[in-house]
Amino acid sequence: MSPPSNHDSSDRQTTQSRRRFLVGIGAATAALAGCASSDDSDDDEPADDSDTDSFDPASDLSYGQWLTTAADGMIFAYANLEAVPTNDESSGSLDESLDDPLATYPLVMSQTIVGLGQLRLSFAGLTQAVTPEAESESTVNEIVVINQTTVAQGTFATDRLDELLTEQTDETWGIGYEQTQTLNGYDQYEPAEVPDSFSSEPPVIAVADDSVVASASVEQLERMVTAGDDGQPRIYETNDTVAQLLEQAGSGDLVVGEIGTLPDDAFNGEEMLETDPQFEPQSGEDVVAAVDFGDDGETVEAQFALAAEEIDESRKETVETTFGTAAVDDSVSIDVSDSRITASGTYSIESLGLTGGDGSGQEELSQAEAAELVSPESLAFQYEPQPDQQFGELWVEVTEETDAAALRIEAESGGYNEFRPQDRSVSARDSIAVQVDPDGDSVTVFVIDDEGAVGELTTQSVPTESLSETAANQAVPTDALSFNYESPDAGDFGSLTIEVVANIEAETLVAQPQEAPGAFADRVGSIGTGESVEVGTTLETAVEPGGDEVIVYATVDNATGEVARWQGPD
């Protein structure tokens, strides 16, 4: 989520996901760079410790059948949702001081890619199916992301998904799909009606009883659902090195791989991520890594395999000195040669800074202890509707200095976000948003201290009821707001100042430009206080000088709606 323009976001780490895994995306994000070329050819000699004749990725790996691409390279990730602890079982906060890529690389990268890739599934009407707390007629057990294609495996109510896709419902972001063909047992859908609010093409979708595929293009989609057929080989069938890497490090509950030179249509999340990873493949390196969660809920097994035409001494030293530093004693195995690196190790959940699978550390702070870190009265809540989109946004702003290391917000409907500043505590004017269900929702705020202990602070209902036109006119009369526009002296946007010049009854006001980026929206007041926004309060937002509208929303009691509309500078 983008912060308001008048808030400093230079040192923040915020992120959002419709399903929260053991390590939330906000806990330790990573840039998806470094997937570079490999000159390995089909006649590479297998490594001495591999027996590729007896290893078949298509049958031995849950995700192996999907590993196909039109080019020589891919970035992929796999998650076994049934084995990976969810937010009910873990604090989800990876120790940021941990410098051990053997564990952090597969944990962070796999879940970052899966977390972003699964957003495509919401277009298929599967948001509820990947939200642990929600009920759904479909069930998603496993997710595979390959470049810009996401595969969900499970059991699917195909008739219900057909209704959602073809009727232009909120569950599919207001997009209307049409079925175009049936291919290999999949009903294929392509966008037919797309709201003006979408600036990019929605995914194409294929639906079967046991799998749903969402892809950036028809070509990628059809390549995926016909993987293994004549003319659609999988990547390991034409590259022995990839087969060896998959055998050495491809088994686990979370898996990530970066192979070869990424094609132009590969998955690219660099603009959505904020932190460089501790480790990333260099030019000419292919990598597969995985983590497997032990049945006891207390241990994690990590595996890593890298292949390159030549591995220099500096690279070898990095692996030998950093891999396995947080692992259980005597569990680490590292084998380094001139062209291959393999490593494995066993970790306790505690050594990674995570709580155990029994959930005993989920709320280690009492509500009173949490309130000592962040006063509940210092939080301001504002609800911002998002017309033509599936979710609204509930913003939480901090109005006083705090002693908290991080804030986490969770919506009852499944939305999640975490804000963790670097090198400071959560401070006044910091803000965080979470997606909420416009049909009704509530949001709970959690506090995290310097030691990673978590405590529930407060819960706030979201005022999603519609504010009637009559109630809007009574709460914010037409002459209660003044608008002052200034043309841009430099840059692309003008500035609009909205001032409250008469008494109003609204608890919050939100100014939302329709053409300028949503990051420029501004918000004042707080819901749930019973106090109205005072005379003299101002909101400021950037606007597109060539023509823009700014909608002002207000919250009154439990309802939110439009109370004013500025029609632009012309």
Q: 3-class DSSP state for residue 460? A: strand
Planar angle of CA 444, 519, 479, nearest 5 degrees: 90
Mean pLDDT of 195-221: 85
Amino acid letter for position 210? D
78-113 pLDDT, tens digit each: 999 888 765 444 444 566 567 888 988 998 888 788
Mean pLDDT of 218-234: 81
166, burial (CB in 10 Å: exposed 0-12, middle 13-18, buried 19+):
middle
pLDDT above 90 (res 472): yes
pLDDT for residue 46: 39
pLDDT for residue 237: 81
* Residue in this structure with the two tokens 């090198």, named with its chain if needed: 423
**Proportion of the chain above pLDDT 90, given as a percent:** 38
Query: How far, in whole angstroms, is CA 304 from its chain's centroid?
Result: 24
CATH 2.60.40 is the classification of domain 469-566: yes
pLDDT for residue 381: 97
pLDDT above 80 (res 420): yes
How do the domains of the chain map onto residue ranges?
14-352, 367-462, 469-566
238-276 pLDDT, tens digit each: 788 899 999 999 999 999 999 887 766 565 444 344 444
What would the CATH number be for the domain defined by 367-462?
2.60.40.10
348-382 pLDDT, tens digit each: 887 776 654 344 444 588 999 999 999 999 999 99
Q: How big, in percent rounded to 5, are the helix, strand and coil portions of the chain?
A: 20, 30, 50
Mean pLDDT of 10-30: 33
Same fold, 367-462 and 469-566: yes
pLDDT for residue 202: 86
pLDDT for residue 40: 37
558-568 pLDDT, tens digit each: 999 999 999 88
Sign of CA dihedral 539, 540, 542, 545: positive
pLDDT for residue 100: 87
Please, what is the average pLDDT of the chain? 80
